A and B are shown apart, each in its own frame.
Chain A
Amino acid sequence: MKNSLFVLSIIALTGCQTVEPWERGILAKEEMQWQASTMEARFRQQMFNSKEASSGTSGAAGGGCGCN
């Protein structure tokens, strides 16, 4: 699993084209962002982190809570 992720990333990086600033209109759309709604993302992540043994998405861990 780790190997294929690595290979996939190399393929993606070498396949990159130059995208001029004026061609990035579509990339500015909300659905093309890494995280659209921070409030909803926080709500969902807290739900999962409280019920699963894993945590962490993007960014450092942040604060804790007694969330049960």
Chain B
Amino acid sequence: MKYAFKAMGGPCVFRIKARSEHIAYHHAQAAHEEVLRLERRYSRYREDSITSTINASAGKNSVSIDEETYRLLNYADTAFKVSGGLFDLTSGVLRRCWDFRSQTLPNQDEVERTLTRVGWAGVRFSKDEVFLPDIGMEIDFGGVVKEYAVDAALALLKKRKVEGALVDLAGDIGAFSNGFGTPWDIGIKHPRSPEKAVATVQLANSALASSGDYERCIVIGDRRYSHILNPKTGWPTNNAPLAVSILAPNCLVAGSSATIAMLMHSSAARAWLSELGIPWLLVDSDLNTYGTLAGI
């Protein structure tokens, strides 16, 4: 059965195969509750979220955290190292300089000032607490929580022994078993023509995450400025890919790898992705497609 709702900034769908529609609906509700729990806990828009608490205490005091938050910070730290500093959960503050709706570029001085508040390397955290050293620093779990929620919802459904499930949270997808143990067939949307599929993949017990700037960017002349900002410069990377999709054992890894690839030059991204060793797809600004998933 299909269960649709809105969360994590977009339309979400669960597809669940269980003994009966009624039982599937029960499970869908529980998984929905889990997604909302994570949204409430980590959304920077909510005053009662741990994110808001951490950000309000930046430069002042450390904030105590639970096991789940510690592990997410730990994961973000691993991604930071693995990406050579490109994956940085403190880069969210840069959005203040950029107005993608106005189609104007930011003031360089402002970018440089804001950049002083970016720096994952300065974040201190342990099993019990986290501390942002400077006032104005912010952590934004947005780079991990949506993908983690896909995995958490799927884990909950697996635990409830449903016959099969697919979790789609605003485009990040995880799935296992389409009822008879067969995989789910998913199409990856073409960045410029969403009704076309640029590739199809099969999800057996894996996840597909995509990162792309086809919706939000600034175009000036023939140059495109992606909304995915490099934490080292405060600007989008030159010649960054248009869209990246990755198939991985879980959505968290798929999503962060896609984000990291979007922060590299297209050619560097292609090399990094093929070195990573999992199925990938990259569309560059000239609409060329590359990767092991291309052409399927």
**Residues of chain A having any CB pair with chain B under 8 Å:** 20-26, 28-30
List the A side residues contacting B71 at CB < 8 Å: none
Docked pose: A2 CA to B105 CA in angstroms: 83
Q: Please tell me if the beta carbons of A30 and B177 are within 8 angstroms of each other in the complex.
A: no
List the A side residues contacting B176 at CB < 8 Å: 22-23, 25
Give 4 closest A-B pairs by Cβ, nearest first.
A25-B163, A22-B176, A28-B161, A22-B205
Interface secondary structure of B, over-half rule: loop
Q: Given contacts A20-B205, A25-B164, could you give 18 more A-B pairs where the C-beta distance is less than 8 Å?
A: A21-B158, A22-B158, A22-B177, A22-B205, A23-B176, A23-B181, A25-B161, A25-B163, A25-B176, A25-B177, A25-B179, A25-B180, A25-B181, A26-B163, A28-B161, A28-B162, A29-B19, A30-B19
B154 (CB) vs chain A CBs: closest residue: A22
Digitize B151-184: 1 where CB-to-A-CB distance is under 8 Å, 0 elsewhere.
Answer: 0000000100111100000000000110111000
Q: Please tell me if the beta carbons of A25 and B19 are within 8 angstroms of each other in the complex.
A: no
Digitize B15-33: 1 where CB-to-A-CB distance is under 8 Å, 0 elsewhere.
Answer: 0010100000000000000
Docked pose: A28 CA to B158 CA in angstroms: 11
25 A–B contacts from the bound complex (CB under 8 Å): A21-B158, A22-B158, A22-B176, A22-B177, A22-B205, A23-B176, A23-B177, A23-B181, A24-B161, A25-B17, A25-B162, A25-B163, A25-B164, A25-B177, A25-B179, A25-B181, A26-B163, A26-B180, A26-B181, A28-B161, A28-B162, A28-B163, A29-B19, A29-B163, A30-B19
A20 (CB) vs chain B CBs: closest residue: B205
List the B side residues contacting A30 at CB < 8 Å: 19
List the B side residues contacting A29 at CB < 8 Å: 19, 163
Minimum CB–CB distance from A30 to chain B (whole Å) comes to: 6
List the A side residues contacting B180 at CB < 8 Å: 25-26
List the A side residues contacting B158 at CB < 8 Å: 21-22
Minimum CB–CB distance from B34 to chain A (whole Å) comes to: 17
Docked pose: A9 CA to B205 CA in angstroms: 31
List the A side residues contacting B179 at CB < 8 Å: 25
Minimum CB–CB distance from A48 to chain B (whole Å) comes to: 28
B157 (CB) vs chain A CBs: closest residue: A22
B180 (CB) vs chain A CBs: closest residue: A26
Docked pose: A22 CA to B177 CA in angstroms: 7
List the A side residues contacting B164 at CB < 8 Å: 25
Docked pose: A17 CA to B39 CA in angstroms: 39
Interface hub of A21, A22, A23, A29 (most chain B Cβ within 10 A): A22
List the B side residues contacting A24 at CB < 8 Å: 161
Minimum CB–CB distance from B156 to chain A (whole Å) comes to: 13
List the A side residues contacting B205 at CB < 8 Å: 20, 22-23
B175 (CB) vs chain A CBs: closest residue: A22
Digitize B236-264: 1 where CB-to-A-CB distance is under 8 Å, 0 elsewhere.
Answer: 00000000000000000000000000000
Minimum CB–CB distance from A20 to chain B (whole Å) comes to: 7
B17 (CB) vs chain A CBs: closest residue: A25
A25 (CB) vs chain B CBs: closest residue: B163
B177 (CB) vs chain A CBs: closest residue: A25
List the B side residues contacting A28 at CB < 8 Å: 19, 161-163
List the A side residues contacting B162 at CB < 8 Å: 25, 28
Minimum CB–CB distance from A7 to chain B (whole Å) comes to: 29
